[in-house]
A and B are shown apart, each in its own frame.
Chain A
Amino acid sequence: MKDTDRPGVDRAAPEDRPVIELRGATASLGGRPVLRGVDLTVRPGEVVALLGANGSGKSTAVRSVIGQVPLTGGELALFGTPFRRFRQWARIGYVPQRTTAAGGVPATVREVVTAGRLARTKLGILRKADRAAVHRALELVGMADRLKDSVNALSGGQHQRVLIARALAGEPDLLIMDEPMAGVDLASQEVLAAALREQVGRGATVLLVLHELGPLEPLIDRAVVLRDGCVVHDGPPPEAVGQHALPGHDHVHPHADAAAEPLRTGLLS
C-alpha cells in the first residue's frame, strides 16, 4: 500500500492519522435519508461516545464506519486509508447490536469468542498465542470459568460479555461497539466498564454508541450527539441535567428489572 505517494493526504505518520475520519457522510435506509452530512473524527487513543435519540442515526453512523451501511456521499478513511482500499480488518474489534450470541446450533462460549480471533490467524489455524488471546479476552469480561458452557445457557448480560470478548480476542486497535450496555444488568455493566478501561489503558481507540453514559461516563473523552442525522454536539460529554430534558428522551429499558436499573448519571435517550 503506497499511501505516501498521495500528496497532502496521507503524509502524516500512521500513528498521527485519525483512526476514523468521516466527512460529510450521507446514507439512507430504505430510501429515507438517515445521515445528512455527518463529520466524525476519532483520533488514536480517544474514547468517543455517539449519543442521540432512537432514530437519530447513531447506529447507522457506526455501521457505515465499518462498511455495513454504504455511504451515498461523503468520505471515509480508516487508519488513514481510504475505505475502498482498507483491508486491515484485524485491527478492528466490532460488537454488533445484539441481544444474543447464539446461532441455530449450540456453541460454547469459547467457540463463539474464537471466531473473533480468526482475522489474526492464517487460514483459521489456531496457535498457542491465539488460544491464549481468547482466554485473556474471556478473563477480561469475567467469563473464563464459563468457556465450556453453551451460550444458550447465558443471561442477557453474559451474552453481551461474550460478544465483547469476541471483539477483544483479536486484540484490536480500534473497538467499535453498538449499544454494548443495552439490556445488561448492573453487575455486567461494571465488568464491561472495567474491561473497557483496560483496553483504553493499553492504548486502544474506542467508538461506542450509547443510550446513556452510565458507568462508562468517566472513560469517555468526547461525546458526539446526533439528531435527525446531523451532529448537534461534538465535545466534552454533556452534563446529565440539561441533556435529560432533550426532546426525544425516553426511558424505555426493555430488559431491565428493578435490580438492574441502569445508572441515571448520564444522558439522554
Chain B
Amino acid sequence: MEILSYAFMQRALIAALIVGITAPAIGIYLVQRRQALMGDGIGHVALTGVGLGFLLNSSPVWMATAVAVAGSVVMELIRWYGKTRGDLALAMLFYGGMAGGVMLMNLSDAGSSANLGTYLFGSITTVSPQDMTTIYVLAALVLAITIGLRRQLFAVCQDEEFARVTGLPVRLLNLLIAVTAAVTVTVAMRVVGLLLVSALMVIPVAAAQQISRSFAVTFATAVGIGVAVTLTGTTASYYVDVPSGATIVLFAIALFVAFTALAAPLARKRAGTPAAAGKGCTLEVPGGRPAEDDVRV
C-alpha cells in the first residue's frame, strides 16, 4: 500500500484511529446525560487556547488542552450552581471562547487565517511527531477513564440523584467526564477540527443506538463506527483531495442514515419470534368458550 509508505500518512492514520476510538468513548456518556452538544462548546472554548498558544509562542495543542479543561470545569460549575439561566451562561462561554480565539490569533505574529482554518477544520496530514506523543498520552488517559470507570460513569449519567444516594462521588465523576471530554476535544482537534469534534463524539453513538439494546453494545458499536469513519475518511482524503474532517463527518452521517434504515427491520426480526408471529389479538368474552389454557376466570 503506497499510502503507508509516507511517514506523515502513517501518523495521520494512527491519529485518526485514536480519535475514532476516544471521541465516541467519552461522547457516549455526554449523550447518555443528554448533553450531546457539550463537546461543541468545549471546542469553541479551546480556540481561545489555540490563539493564546500562538500569541505566547508556546504549543497551541497544550494551550488548547489547558484552556479547554478550564472551560469544561467552568461549564460543570455552571451546571451545579447556575440553575436559573444556565443555558445563557453556557452560550456566553461558547461564543466568548470563539471570539477570544479569533482575536488572539489576529494579535499574534504567527497566526494567520490559514492557520486558524487548520484548527477549525482539522489538518490531519500536518500532524507532527511531537503532536503524536501528546496524542498518545492524552488518549491513554481518556481510555483508562472511559473504560476503567464505565460502571461508575454509567450510573452517574443514567440517574445522577440515584448515584449520589449510592454514595458515588458524583461531583468528582462529573468533573472527570468534563475534563476527559476537554482532553478528547484537543486530541481530535488536528484530525477533524474544533468545529467538527463534537460530531465524532455524538454521531457514532447516535448511529450505534439505532440497532442496539444495551449500553455495552452501543459503546462497542460506536467505537467501531468511529474507527471505521476516521480511517476511511483519512484514506479518502489522501486519494481524493478533500478535507479529512468534513469527509469523516459526512461518512459518519451516511452510516447513521444506513443504521437508521436497518433499525426497523431489525426490531421486527427481534420481536417476531415464530410463536408470536401468527398470534393476533383475541377478545375473551365472559361466559363464552373457555380459554385454551383452561384457566378459570
Residues of A within 8 A of B (CB): 66-68, 87, 89-90, 92, 94, 96, 98, 101, 103-108, 111-112, 114-116, 118-119, 121, 124, 126, 148-150, 152-153, 166, 170
Contact = CB atoms under 8 A, between A and B. Distances in A.
Contacts of A148: 213-214
B164 A68 contact: yes
A1 to B, nearest CB: 15
B154 A111 contact: yes
A68 B32 contact: no
A116 B218 contact: no
Given A112-B158, A124-B152, A148-B213, A105 B166 contact: no
Contacts of B218: 105-106
B58 to A, nearest CB: 37
A193 to B, nearest CB: 22
A225 B135 CA distance: 60
The 8 tightest CB contacts between A and B, nearest first, are: A89-B167, A150-B213, A124-B151, A115-B155, A94-B165, A105-B32, A119-B166, A108-B214
B7 interface: no
Interface in B144-161: 149-152, 154-155, 157-159, 161
28 contacts: A68-B161, A89-B167, A94-B162, A96-B159, A96-B162, A96-B165, A98-B159, A103-B33, A103-B158, A103-B159, A104-B31, A104-B32, A105-B205, A105-B209, A106-B209, A106-B212, A107-B215, A108-B215, A115-B155, A115-B162, A119-B167, A124-B149, A124-B150, A126-B151, A148-B213, A149-B213, A166-B162, A170-B166
B15 interface: no
Nearest to B219: A105
B202 to A, nearest CB: 10
Q: Which of A96, A104, A152 has the most CB of B within 10 A?
A: A104
Interface string B197-237: 00000000100010011111010000000000000000000
A118 B155 CA distance: 8
A148 B215 CA distance: 11
Contacts of B168: 118-119
B71 to A, nearest CB: 22
Main secondary structure on B side of the interface with A? helix
B155 to A, nearest CB: 4
B171 interface: no
Contacts of B34: 103-104
Given A89-B166, A115-B151, 18 more contacts: A68-B164, A87-B167, A90-B166, A96-B162, A98-B159, A101-B159, A103-B33, A104-B31, A105-B32, A105-B209, A105-B218, A106-B212, A114-B151, A116-B166, A118-B155, A121-B151, A152-B213, A153-B213
B89 to A, nearest CB: 19
Nearest to B166: A119
B162 A68 contact: no
B153 to A, nearest CB: 9
Interface string B22-38: 00000010011110100
A97 to B, nearest CB: 9
Nearest to A126: B151
Interface in B1-45: 28, 31-34, 36
B163 A105 contact: no
B158 A106 contact: no
A252 B161 CA distance: 26
A111 B167 contact: no
A216 to B, nearest CB: 22
Contacts of B214: 106-108, 111, 148, 150
A101 B32 CA distance: 12
B213 A108 contact: yes
B203 to A, nearest CB: 13
Contacts of A115: 151, 154-155, 158-159, 162-163, 166
A158 to B, nearest CB: 15
A82 B41 CA distance: 41
A111 B213 CA distance: 11
A118 B159 CA distance: 13
B282 to A, nearest CB: 16
A105 B167 contact: no
B162 A104 contact: no
Q: Which of A119, A148, A149, A152 has the most CB of B within 10 A?
A: A119
A117 to B, nearest CB: 9
A66 B162 CA distance: 10
A106 B263 CA distance: 13
A149 B271 CA distance: 11
Q: Which of B28, B33, B154, B212 has the most CB of A within 10 A?
A: B154
A116 B213 CA distance: 19
Q: Which of A98, A105, A116, A118 has the most CB of B within 10 A?
A: A105
A116 B161 CA distance: 12
A206 to B, nearest CB: 15
B15 to A, nearest CB: 26
